[in-house]
Structure 1
């Protein structure tokens, strides 16, 4: 008799956990930069269109696939090939790729979350505000952190906190942690946005956000980068959303769940943009860099020149910490669940095993984490998303897919769902893979 699987206690808990997995560094250190770089609403228009498309196809598909298989990518892909051919082995072999990708991305993300733990501590203790506008000191602090073996203590702390959350299971650990972190993140970010709104000079940032350049919409690269941002922001990679979906009750509605995740992920990204872009305007600085440089160098300087900047910095880094932790938990879940499913490890043993491996590798790659993350996000993540979509829409077929989606749905999903998944989502995932390889990353 198969052991009863852990799961989310409620649809709200599931949705909040999925929001937590989607809201991450891409929302905070890349989205505001892309909005600034491509001209405000000029970027937001295609971005929102792609969020709607991916939310209506990829998110629904991965949630429904995981729930139908009651397992992670290996079991889910195996289920699809079993439906088609009666043989689950080939699907299980292919399904190992998204699990490996999830672990690889989690390891790189562990390094970044270690940085965030350190900067949250530095903000709370006042060490960041004490640097003032000394860019040599600010840049030097990050330079010494983001180097080989430069942040060992905080990286280990990040792993320990993550492991403790995950050891308590889905309902007791992941759901409970996200129910605490996500609402607080939104409230704190909203408070930051309101405060920045009151500062002199912020209006220039808002004007820029709401600017639209019709000619810019004709640039194919804008659409490629907007798609990449939406694609990666919604955590479509054939792993995290699949495994979270496997813990969802069959009576829950995956269509409305996917919609809620897409909406709140976009709201989080917009909140970050409405804090960072006007904040940079207040400080008289250009948003000239995305990535770690924005969060750990340029914004430190801006906060230090802002009225109430010390408090702003503390709240900001707490928000970033919650976003990072919720995503990290999701990334580690697929490999942990794989050890439980395939090797019959007990939950604490699986968590400890993955935590030890993740921590050991993360410590070693600190000096090359940027290249590590690029390789995973450019190649493995879009490939995982494409494989999951192919398995669901093409291999398992219409009867399986529609049945999986409609369980718990108040009304049958529209006839648009299968053609959109087969003929739009799958090719776009392939484009994300090729464009990412050609352009050095698009999300």
Structure 2
């Protein structure tokens, strides 16, 4: 069955595709903003600990569900179920993940479109097209619709190609470009005046803050969001992994890449904020809070790039291309969730399913754009603060309480015969059964 529905052709292909899903605007945009808001280096330290101690076990739960089921999220979870109520519960959780992925993509595509428009702006300036440069960064329904449509076109184009020729092929192309651009921008920014103060704030933790409740909850939420948990994405990607692969090491490698790129994003954004502050741009309010918050990337950083003169146009172009690539590597995974469900549960041809679902999600994006003052934040809140934590928690419940323990062990032993005697097997099952659901529940209750 795995061959007919496609699977990753190599270990590297899965790692880059899963890392691409995990590495999105949540890492390169959200993580530095959360860091600046929640105590700088103290937040980074807590995030790194929680990513491996709590997010990684939940991440493994979704991968195991997928590879065991070798199908979309709903079918995979129903294969784990033995009783009628469990199958009904599996449908609710699996389909909930599909809906959550679609909702996230509907607002994510709008923000990604903004990233693309801000990448065009410096290019238009260099070509002397001042009118175009001004228009592409001006808020307006036509501009927002146009760039959301362009971004969705790229996403649909890749997913229509399938697993190996679409997701894997383009992840192998985009992820190296993303990493190289990120490294180049870091090396440039840290040479500027004020960057050392940013590095100091980012790398020198105030240990007295690491146990603050808000910081802990924010770091935990960021860890789960950045790994694409609770959206059926990793269940789908897990179903495309060959049985010969070692899931334990694969999951650890993806988690490591994810947190490394988030950390690298902080090395870029936090020093850039202090460089902007050194050059007279207002960053922090009197109480130490961020002035721009989530819109920092569109407010503070363009001001910094403008202050650099002509070289700032090249830096701005590289930065927003980086952000657009990060968005695309995540969006293709979010579209794959609903598409795989339509293809496998309703026998719809892949190209037709991809185009139809992509257009439906774009229609939702258009509805948000025409009601952007209310709907953008509302849909983002519903999907990320409510949907993701609940579904991620229920996936852990499935693995911990419904999935037969002997079947679970047999699945993990594929590609890892000695896993039964490892520390992973001694800790992970009860950790997933008790600790992860409680921790995710904490995130959800905090969001209320």
TM exceeding 0.5: yes
Alignment partner, residue 103 of structure 1: 102
Per-residue deviation, 1:90 = 4.2
- CA RMSD in angstroms comes to 2.3
CA distances 1:360-410 after superposition (whole Å, capped 9, x unpaired): 111111212122111111111111111111111111132222222221125
Question: Does the 8 Å contact 2:101/2:335 carry over to 1?
Answer: yes
The 3 A distance-change label for structure 1 pair 207 and 74 is same
CA distances 1:290-314 after superposition (whole Å, capped 9, x unpaired): 6651111211111111362111111
- In structure 2, the gaps of 5 or more residues are 285-289
Per-residue deviation, 1:180 = 0.7
Per-residue deviation, 1:89 = 4.5
Structure 1 CA distance, aligned partners of 2:58 and 2:263?
21
Per-residue deviation, 1:69 = 0.2
Normalization by structure 1: what TM-score? 0.91
Which of 424, 427, 438 is the equivalent residue of 1:427?
438
The 3 A distance-change label for structure 1 pair 224 and 89 is closer
Alignment partner, residue 134 of structure 1: none
Structure 1 CA distance, aligned partners of 2:231 and 2:272?
36
Structure 2 CA distance, aligned partners of 1:273 and 1:20?
18
Alignment partner, residue 302 of structure 1: 304
Structure 1 CA distance, aligned partners of 2:194 and 2:149?
40
The 3 A distance-change label for structure 1 pair 405 and 422 is same
For residues 90-169 of structure 1, what are the structure 2 equivalents within 5 Å? 90-126=89-125, 144-145=139-140, 148=141, 150-169=143-162
Alignment partner, residue 383 of structure 1: 390
Alignment partner, residue 163 of structure 2: 170
Structure 1 CA distance, aligned partners of 2:151 and 2:293?
20
Alignment partner, residue 441 of structure 1: none
Question: Does the 8 Å contact 1:129/1:310 carry over to 2?
Answer: no
Alignment partner, residue 287 of structure 2: none
Q: Secondary structure at the match of 2:81?
A: helix
CA distances 1:402-435 after superposition (whole Å, capped 9, x unpaired): 2222211253143111111111111112112111
For residues 163-202 of structure 1, what are the structure 2 equivalents within 5 Å? 163-202=156-195
Which of 407, 422, 425 is the equivalent residue of 1:400?
407
Q: Does 1:324 align with 2:327?
A: yes
Per-residue deviation, 1:128 = 12
* Worse-matched range after superposition: 103-112 or 333-342: 103-112
For residues 58-69 of structure 1, what are the structure 2 equivalents within 5 Å? 58-69=58-69
For residues 197-346 of structure 1, what are the structure 2 equivalents within 5 Å? 197-284=190-277, 285=281, 286=283, 288-289=290-291, 292-306=294-308, 308-346=311-349
Q: Secondary structure at the match of 1:260?
A: helix
CA distances 1:208-257 after superposition (whole Å, capped 9, x unpaired): 11222232123111111111111111111150010011111011111111
The 3 A distance-change label for structure 1 pair 252 and 219 is same
Which of 358, 362, 365 is the equivalent residue of 2:361?
358
Question: Does the 8 Å contact 2:115/2:320 carry over to 1?
Answer: yes
CA distances 1:179-217 after superposition (whole Å, capped 9, x unpaired): 111111011100111111222221111111122223212
Question: Does the 8 Å contact 1:61/1:405 carry over to 2?
Answer: no
Per-residue deviation, 1:113 = 1.5
Per-residue deviation, 1:275 = 1.0
Aligned residues: 428
Q: Does 1:80 align with 2:80?
A: yes
The 3 A distance-change label for structure 1 pair 45 and 87 is closer
The 3 A distance-change label for structure 1 pair 24 and 101 is same
Structure 1 CA distance, aligned partners of 2:213 and 2:89?
37
Deviating 4+ runs (over 3 angstroms)? 84-90, 127-131, 140-143, 289-292
CA distances 1:31-87 after superposition (whole Å, capped 9, x unpaired): 1122222232211111111111135411111111101001122012211213x6697
- In structure 1, the gaps of 5 or more residues are 132-136, 438-443
Q: Secondary structure at the match of 2:125?
A: coil
Per-residue deviation, 1:130 = 9.6
